[in-house]
Amino acid sequence: MSKTITKKDLVDRIAQKTGSRRVHVKRIIQEFLDEIIRELGEGNRLEFRDFGVFEIRSRAARIAQNPKTMEKVKVPPKRTVKFKVGRLMKERLLGAGQAAAAGSKPDA
């Protein structure tokens, strides 16, 4: 069963590995996360080589339907964040052989 890792867990782990003070590591990680949020808020794309890409996607307004009442409902437009997994993360998650196969397209 997978375990939930919190920001505190990461801060503690990085502080221990680097010998840095926990408060310093926490400040750096929080600043990093704040910058990601700020850049995405401005509509910018963030690319971390081999890790992945964060980008904003816009969803158009639409008419949806409540399945229980069958009532039509207006859904406003919204922006969401899309994350595309990078090469190294894909290899680590899938295993080297499966990642190569997942990246290749079947012959038509």
Domain that holds residue 86: 45-103
Give me the CATH number covering residue 55: 4.10.520.10
State pLDDT tens for residues 66-104: 999 999 999 999 999 999 999 999 998 887 556 455 555
Query: Average pLDDT in the 25-41 region?
Result: 96
Dihedral in degrees, nearest 10, Cα atoms 17, 18, 21, 23: -80
Local structure of 83: helix, strand or coil: strand
Same domain, 74 and 24: no
Q: What local confidence, expressed as pLDDT, does residue 94 receive? A: 86
Percent of the chain predicted with pLDDT > 90:
80
The one-character DSSP state at 21 is -
Checking if the pLDDT of 108 tops 50, the result is no
Residue that has been written with the tokens 């509509």 in this structure: 43
Residue 108 lies in a domain: no
Upper half-sphere CA count for residue 62 (Cβ side, 13 Å)? 6
* 92 domain-assigned: yes
Query: HSE on the CB side for 93, CA within 13 Å?
Result: 10
- What's the structural domain count of the chain? 2
